[in-house]
Structure 1
């Protein structure tokens, strides 16, 4: 039994306005070929298939074309769970049709936990694995609101809600495993999935990973997950990593860099082989389909790096930050000229000196486009001279409202 674990595709995501469909398509082609080459029996996609709740037609085309291609290969099953970026109703809409392709979709927490437990069978109807397909658990699904709660109370209830749900789902899986053993099917592994933030998880600048819940906690500890789980396939964090030193609990990470903070990161998918009681886990490195390069320095430093990249015939997308002492007002024009004759693209330019010169006057000229929702709320508190002792509760309430808006499923009628 071979399982491949991947997550956080974020199909449809752009980089400073640049569409990345060719990159996504190249990854999915590579993944299809890897599944064939490694003779994978089941593919697990641990959430955030799409970057938004209303994915473009092109993003949808990539997704469904991939599912059709893989379902016709050696891969007998595909299990997809919803992430915090996904629309549950959008993912779930074609689930009955996709079942015909042995694609199982769980977009959101179900009313009956048994609906999140899937017994995968081979072509002879023999059990391969029991999958606990737990999607992103929204705040409203796992926590009831009570008057007078503190932030610590809310965090504790969130963690308890996550724990209780995994216990319910895994208990059903354990019962199914016992029944299979009675029928003579031994060593059927329990594989769980999840989309959440574990304590100590690593993130990087610019990866777009949102805090899932309001408050300072809501990062679950390893002991939240039942010991009956043989492998836990997690999504949400973009850095491939092991959780709490437990080799069988892992994030596969995103398959392509979501921003320049991930540019030097090795991207991976995880292959798990179940031949004995202890799974063999292999990390497979994903090729780089589009080079991202961040250049920081003086004008001379930037020119030197650009010339080296041109010499190497690089096709990189560049983020350039000028940190020299002199003010260079026409920096973008200079850089565009330096790239003449190359296949490179400048996706972003940061002119530190010009920014510093304007910093004192920016408030007079800034617009709402320059601020995020938290900036606006802080300005509002300042404008009304709200005392510091009142700000914590107000800020928490504001964050809860924003979270509820982020979690609203816009595709629901």
Structure 2
């Protein structure tokens, strides 16, 4: 029996409303190392977004390398790490030769030769025990050749076709390896992508991966020879199309207040031969988050309840009462004074809504995202027709280029 643990989206170094979270990240990695030891895990898969940006801080790097050293000294025989869209491929790849001596296998960039993404992992006796298709986040330039005059629909189609072809090529090589090594060796693939139908939550920081929003991968993009597909990118733990073997492990920490109260987990996969059995292991809550919404009486009442329970929560307060409260921040600071709670974010929807109503009747602050703001600017300046369409597309391309082509700017 082979025991595998699937996790992703650590986002080491990410802050919440300006608050550093290194203690939480450290507590999670300590718990993960203890879980590996306690459960007797043989292989750990990390499906992308190890770091929150392409230039992680020294402290984030220290957490990462300290964990890898601890994992290498544990019963875990192999660690496989692939890059996500937040990671710098070159940064992750730089120490890969050194890490390989610890049986830590890193794939930061899509390989020119698909065979370089096919890893045969061996047990202590030297016998092959697992084949991993270690596919990282596939950037647009990895799978699509741009051509002059192609439409957005053409680009989306070529992109999804390119991702599908990449998985087909890597899986075919893995299947040939299994034919050579033995039929009972499982084949596992990683992926950092947006599967069609995947669920996200407001404020989780999950980005659209490509220009536009159509390039979402359907479940049939993963060849039938794959016995388990370990996915990253979406922060909500979930199955893809109800499949037991196509899963997002989700982020181990809530990345924003929209994930407050969400159950976090890692996926434990047991293989008997090539047959998987999946169970979820709940991740403890290392820092409670609480979103409180309502009028002032509801907000004050909930803060009193939390204080009575000795809560140490970080709070996001969303005021949506009818009355305009100009001193909301001061009231909140007074309400949490003497408790172990802290208000990290205040959203006074009533004041914002009054301002918005002057320009866009019936629209609220919660209806807008960054692109909406850009569109409002175009409308305010009277930009319409073909010029508006072209400027909007240029805006989207600039944002996507910032996120993809220059990891240091993420």
Give the Cα–Cα distance (whole angstroms) in 1 for the partners of residues 309 and 216 of structure 2. Answer: 43
Question: Map of 1:354-373 to 2, 5 A cutoff?
Answer: 354-359=351-356
Aligned equivalent of 1:349, options 330, 339, 346 = 346
Give the Cα–Cα distance (whole angstroms) in 2 for the partners of residues 59 and 200 of structure 1. Answer: 32
Give the Cα–Cα distance (whole angstroms) in 2 for the partners of residues 394 and 204 of structure 1. Answer: 28
Query: Is residue 39–residue 74 contact of structure 1 (8 Å, CA) maintained in 2?
Result: yes
Counterpart position of 2:363: none
Normalising by structure 2, we get a TM-score of 0.93
Give the Cα–Cα distance (whole angstroms) in 2 for the partners of residues 52 and 411 of structure 1. Answer: 7
Pair 262,411 (structure 1): closer, same or farther in 2 beyond 3 Å: closer
- 1:120 offset after TM fit, Å? 0.6
Counterpart position of 1:124: 125
Provide structure 2 residue ranges, at least 5 long, that are not aligned to the other structure: 361-367
Query: Is residue 6–residue 270 contact of structure 1 (8 Å, CA) maintained in 2?
Result: yes
Structure 1 window deviating more from structure 2 (387-396 vs 315-324): it is 387-396
Residues 1:177 and 2:178 are matched in the alignment: yes
- 1:244 offset after TM fit, Å? 1.3
What secondary structure sits across from 1:304 in the alignment?
A: helix
Normalising by structure 1, we get a TM-score of 0.93
Counterpart position of 1:267: 264
Q: Provide Cα deviations, 1:4-46, integer angstroms capped at 9, x if missing partner.
A: 0000000111110011111111111111111111100000000
Query: Is residue 133–residue 192 contact of structure 1 (8 Å, CA) maintained in 2?
Result: yes
Pair 379,359 (structure 1): closer, same or farther in 2 beyond 3 Å: closer
- 1:336 offset after TM fit, Å? 0.8
Give the Cα–Cα distance (whole angstroms) in 2 for the partners of residues 24 and 5 of structure 1. Answer: 17
Residues 1:102 and 2:103 are matched in the alignment: yes
Q: Provide Cα deviations, 1:380-407, integer angstroms capped at 9, x if missing partner.
A: 6446644334544542343223212211
Give the Cα–Cα distance (whole angstroms) in 2 for the partners of residues 320 and 202 of structure 1. Answer: 24
Query: Is residue 41–residue 77 contact of structure 1 (8 Å, CA) maintained in 2?
Result: yes
Query: Is residue 296–residue 320 contact of structure 1 (8 Å, CA) maintained in 2?
Result: yes
Q: Provide Cα deviations, 1:76-105, integer angstroms capped at 9, x if missing partner.
A: 100000000000011111111101110000
Counterpart position of 1:366: none
Give the Cα–Cα distance (whole angstroms) in 2 for the partners of residues 222 and 372 of structure 1. Answer: 29
Query: Is residue 290–residue 314 contact of structure 2 (8 Å, CA) maintained in 1?
Result: yes
The number of residues matched between the two structures is 401
Give the Cα–Cα distance (whole angstroms) in 1 for the partners of residues 319 and 398 of structure 2. Answer: 38
Pair 233,399 (structure 1): closer, same or farther in 2 beyond 3 Å: same
Query: Is residue 53–residue 408 contact of structure 2 (8 Å, CA) maintained in 1?
Result: no
Give the Cα–Cα distance (whole angstroms) in 2 for the partners of residues 357 and 229 of structure 1. Answer: 54
Residues 1:78 and 2:79 are matched in the alignment: yes
Question: Map of 1:374-385 to 2, 5 A cutoff?
Answer: 374=371, 377-378=374-375, 381-382=378-379, 385=382
Give the Cα–Cα distance (whole angstroms) in 2 for the partners of residues 67 and 379 of structure 1. Answer: 47
Provide structure 1 residue ranges, at least 5 long, that are not aligned to the other structure: 364-370
- 1:350 offset after TM fit, Å? 1.3
Query: Is residue 89–residue 411 contact of structure 1 (8 Å, CA) maintained in 2?
Result: no
Residues 1:339 and 2:336 are matched in the alignment: yes
Give the Cα–Cα distance (whole angstroms) in 2 for the partners of residues 126 and 178 of structure 1. Answer: 15
Pair 316,376 (structure 1): closer, same or farther in 2 beyond 3 Å: closer
Counterpart position of 2:113: 112
What secondary structure sits across from 2:247 in the alignment?
A: strand
Give the Cα–Cα distance (whole angstroms) in 2 for the partners of residues 304 and 379 of structure 1. Answer: 37
What secondary structure sits across from 1:223 in the alignment?
A: helix
Give the Cα–Cα distance (whole angstroms) in 2 for the partners of residues 208 and 265 of structure 1. Answer: 15
Pair 13,362 (structure 1): closer, same or farther in 2 beyond 3 Å: farther
Query: Is residue 193–residue 234 contact of structure 1 (8 Å, CA) maintained in 2?
Result: yes
Residues 1:407 and 2:408 are matched in the alignment: no
Counterpart position of 2:51: 50
